[in-house]
């Protein structure tokens, strides 16, 4: 492993204050009440760390938004972007460009089964939008089924497919979108008591949903292979294979969304490999180039690609397959192979993060459940382990969210930048962090959980 994350922060509070003032004056932030936020001014980042202008350094246990799978400022990827900028900084999508061809080849080589054609987008939501359009055009059917407790993006179709409680009045026009419950034993929608029962009931529920909606009206079923933002819920053995079988039986396109779980995060190139399942369409983004330049895409099966052999695909994006983004992807994939980063993620999960987080759960009554694999973990925080009452209600704000806010503040005070969502904290560091860095993160979580414990 390349040793990184060692740069000393250079305190420069004056510049920090200026950056912050301009931000507050002109930047409109995502997912926020603009008057109620105080964004940290970031001075730099390297490896698994970033730092502010006041000299505070943070271990990034969020990987940005779960995308810097190889960490920040990997020198080879930065150099590849610089080199590409000097050679050919941009070129329109209708042309064959060496670096775009190479990125598509490297991605297709790693995606499961016959997902060998790559449609490039600028991010995850656009990938989901296009996967849905492909499925509708391929089948000639209107509806799409997606799961509650999912996240598929914040554009029109993607936010409608999203099944988490952050959908607002603006997002109710969900033509053709039907939600169903996917398995999640800890908070089972099916009152199941073990994984086999949860799996069987979830599949029966999906079969019923298909029957009631009418199989001939359903273009696609979309699932995150391992739901991420909604709480990192690894599906029980047999579930995804069961969904694959239902899709085959009814001519429904099976879309797996690996925007978050793909490119090493779970300890495999794609999470679908854990379950031996090949979807018809697979969406990716984030880890494909660790977000150094925006890039996403859809990997397409031979059968669906054939639909658009003689009939045009009526969709495209100005920056599809942008050369800088593709150069970053080629370099990232090469670095991941050379430095065995996928294997490292698996090892981190098995040897360090999994055991370490389970050990924390033994000592902290606020930890209801530890879930995850690879470099992809969540702690489900509760008021009461018996009843599993979440530490804060869904979408809690203000006073109601105070316990999670206090927990997050304690993490930051201990030099850890957490990924906190509703009643959960996720441990999703770069996939190539060292054992020592992972243990530093676990120690900071340990200290912060004592704050959460006060609310049990
Ligand atoms: N799908 C999944 C599974 C995601 O996790 C995300 C982003 N968190 C998206 C889609 C949307 O990606 P983007 O924010 O790049 O549009």
What's the pLDDT tens digit per position in 296-346? 999 999 999 999 999 999 999 999 999 999 999 999 999 999 999 999 999
Atom of ligand 1 nearest to the CA of 227: 3
The residue whose CA is least distant from atom 13 of ligand 1 is 124
CB atoms within 10 A of CB 167: 15
User: What per-residue confidence (pLDDT) applies to 171?
Assistant: 61
10 — pLDDT class (breaks 50, 70, 90): confident
Task: Specify the DSSP element, H or E, that contains 367.
Answer: strand 367-373
Alpha helices in 214-317 (DSSP H): 239-250, 272-275, 302-307
Ranges assigned E (strand) in 225-328: 253-257, 281-284, 296-300
The whole-angstrom separation of Cα 438 and Cα 436 is 5
Nearest to 279 by CA among 237, 241, 249, 315: 241
Check if 260 has its Cβ closer than 6 Å to any atom of ligand 1: yes
Check if 259 has its Cβ closer than 6 Å to any atom of ligand 1: yes
For 79, phi then psi, to 5°, come to -65, -40
Atom of ligand 1 nearest to the CA of 122: 15
Contact 423, 335 (CB under 8 A): no
The whole-angstrom separation of Cα 108 and Cα 123 is 17
The residue whose CA is least distant from atom 12 of ligand 1 is 124
Condensed to tens digits (0 to 9), the pLDDT of residues 251-306 reads 999 999 999 999 999 999 999 999 999 999 999 999 999 999 999 999 999 999 99
Alpha helices in 117-259 (DSSP H): 124-139, 156-161, 195-213, 239-250
Check if 285 has its Cβ closer than 6 Å to any atom of ligand 1: yes
The average pLDDT across 27-43 equals 94
Fold (CATH) for 13-73+340-453: 3.90.1150
1 — pLDDT class (breaks 50, 70, 90): very low
The average pLDDT across 80-96 equals 98
The whole-angstrom separation of Cα 334 and Cα 1 is 14
User: What per-residue confidence (pLDDT) applies to 165?
Assistant: 73
Check if 403 has its Cβ closer than 6 Å to any atom of ligand 1: no
8 — pLDDT class (breaks 50, 70, 90): low
The whole-angstrom separation of Cα 235 and Cα 203 is 12
Ligand 1 center–CA 11 separation, angstroms = 34
User: What per-residue confidence (pLDDT) applies to 164?
Assistant: 80
The whole-angstrom separation of Cα 350 and Cα 197 is 26
Task: Report the b/e string of 348-362 with b at 16+ CB within 10 A.
Answer: bbeebbbebbeebbe
The residue whose CA is least distant from atom 1 of ligand 1 is 152
Does residue 78 sit in helix, strand or coil?
helix
Ranges assigned E (strand) in 131-251: 143-147, 177-180, 218-224
Atom of ligand 1 nearest to the CA of 294: 15
Nearest to 424 by CA among 235, 267, 148, 232: 232
Check if 369 has its Cβ closer than 6 Å to any atom of ligand 1: no
Contact 298, 119 (CB under 8 A): yes
User: What per-residue confidence (pLDDT) applies to 3?
Assistant: 36
The average pLDDT across 49-75 equals 97
Residues in CB range of 168: below 8 A, 6 or more apart: none
Atom of ligand 1 nearest to the CA of 125: 16
Check if 152 has its Cβ closer than 6 Å to any atom of ligand 1: yes
- Looking only at the bridges linking them, the beta strands covering 253-257 and 281-284 are parallel
The whole-angstrom separation of Cα 204 and Cα 430 is 37
Using the Cα atoms of residue 146, residue 233, residue 30 and residue 92 in order, give the sign of their dihedral.
negative
Condensed to tens digits (0 to 9), the pLDDT of residues 137-163 reads 999 999 999 999 999 999 988 988 988
Ranges assigned E (strand) in 244-286: 253-257, 281-284
- Looking only at the bridges linking them, the beta strands covering 376-384 and 424-427 are antiparallel
Average pLDDT, whole number, for the chain? 95
* Domain residue extents for the chain: 13-73+340-453, 75-338
Atom of ligand 1 nearest to the CA of 66: 8
Atom of ligand 1 nearest to the CA of 224: 3
Does residue 32 sit in helix, strand or coil?
coil
User: What per-residue confidence (pLDDT) applies to 2?
Assistant: 34
Ligand 1 center–CA 421 separation, angstroms = 15
Check if 151 has its Cβ closer than 6 Å to any atom of ligand 1: yes
State yes or no: pLDDT of 358 exceeds 80. Answer: yes
User: What per-residue confidence (pLDDT) applies to 95?
Assistant: 98
Ligand 1 center–CA 428 separation, angstroms = 15
Check if 125 has its Cβ closer than 6 Å to any atom of ligand 1: yes
Condensed to tens digits (0 to 9), the pLDDT of residues 107-129 reads 999 999 999 999 999 999 999 99
Check if 153 has its Cβ closer than 6 Å to any atom of ligand 1: yes
Check if 147 has its Cβ closer than 6 Å to any atom of ligand 1: no
Ligand 1 center–CA 455 separation, angstroms = 32
The average pLDDT across 210-238 equals 98
Ligand 1 center–CA 125 separation, angstroms = 6
243 — pLDDT class (breaks 50, 70, 90): very high
- Percentage of the residues of the chain whose pLDDT score is greater than 90: 91
CA-CA-CA-CA dihedral for 445, 447, 448, 450, to nearest 10: 120
Q: Which CATH number fits domain 75-338: 3.40.50.800, 3.40.640.10, 1.10.260.40, 1.20.1440.230?
A: 3.40.640.10
Check if 124 has its Cβ closer than 6 Å to any atom of ligand 1: yes
Ligand 1 center–CA 424 separation, angstroms = 18
Check if 164 has its Cβ closer than 6 Å to any atom of ligand 1: no
Q: Pull the structure tokens for residue 160.
A: 């409608």
The average pLDDT across 398-405 equals 95
């Amino acid at each position: 492993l390349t040793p990184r994350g060692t740069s000393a922060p250079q305190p420069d509070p004056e510049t920090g204050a200026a950056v912050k003032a301009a931000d507050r004056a002109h930047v409109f932030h995502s997912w926020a009440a603009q008057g109620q936020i105080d964004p940290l001014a970031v001075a730099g980042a390297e490896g698994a760390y970033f730092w502010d202008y006041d000299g505070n350094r943070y271990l990034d246990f969020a990987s940005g938004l779960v995308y810097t799978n190889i960490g920040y400022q990997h020198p080879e990827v930065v150099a590849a972007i610089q080199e590409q900028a000097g050679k050919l900084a941009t070129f329109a999508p209708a042309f064959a460009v060496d670096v775009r061809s190479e990125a598509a080849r490297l991605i297709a080589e790693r995606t499961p089964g016959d997902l060998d054609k790559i449609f490039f987008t600028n991010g995850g939501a656009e990938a989901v939008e296009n996967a849905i359009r492909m499925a509708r055009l391929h089948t000639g059917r209107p509806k799409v089924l997606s799961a509650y407790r999912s996240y598929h993006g914040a554009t029109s179709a993607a936010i409608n497919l999203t099944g988490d409680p952050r959908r607002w009045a603006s997002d109710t026009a969900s033509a053709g979108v039907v939600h169903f419950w996917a398995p999640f034993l800890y908070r089972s929608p099916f009152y199941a008591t073990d994984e086999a029962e949860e799996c069987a009931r979830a599949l029966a529920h999906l079969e019923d949903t298909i029957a009631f909606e009418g199989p001939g009206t359903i273009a696609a079923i979309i699932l995150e292979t391992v739901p991420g933002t909604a709480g990192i819920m690894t599906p029980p053995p047999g579930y995804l294979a069961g969904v694959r079988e239902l899709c085959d039986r009814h001519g429904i396109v099976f879309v797996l969304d690996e925007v978050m779980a793909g490119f090493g995060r779970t300890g495999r190139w794609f999470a679908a490999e854990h379950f031996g399942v090949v979807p018809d369409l697979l969406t990716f983004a984030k880890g494909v180039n660790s977000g150094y330049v925006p890039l996403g895409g859809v990997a397409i099966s031979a059968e669906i690609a054939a639909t658009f052999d003689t009939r045009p695909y009526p969709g495209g994006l100005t920056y599809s397959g942008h050369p800088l983004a593709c150069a970053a992807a080629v370099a990232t994939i090469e670095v991941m192979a050379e430095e065995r980063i996928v294997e490292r993620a698996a090892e981190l999960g098995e040897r360090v993060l999994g055991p370490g987080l389970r050990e924390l759960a033994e000592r902290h009554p606020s930890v209801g459940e530890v879930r995850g694999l690879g470099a992809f973990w969540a702690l489900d925080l509760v008021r009461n382990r018996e009843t599993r009452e979440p530490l804060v209600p869904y979408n809690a704000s203000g006073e109601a969210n105070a316990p999670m806010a206090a927990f997050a503040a304690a993490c930051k005070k201990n030099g850890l930048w957490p990924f906190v969502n509703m009643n959960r904290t996720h441990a999703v560091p770069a996939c190539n962090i060292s054992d020592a860095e992972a243990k530093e993160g676990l120690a900071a979580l340990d200290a912060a959980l004592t704050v959460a414990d006060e609310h049990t």
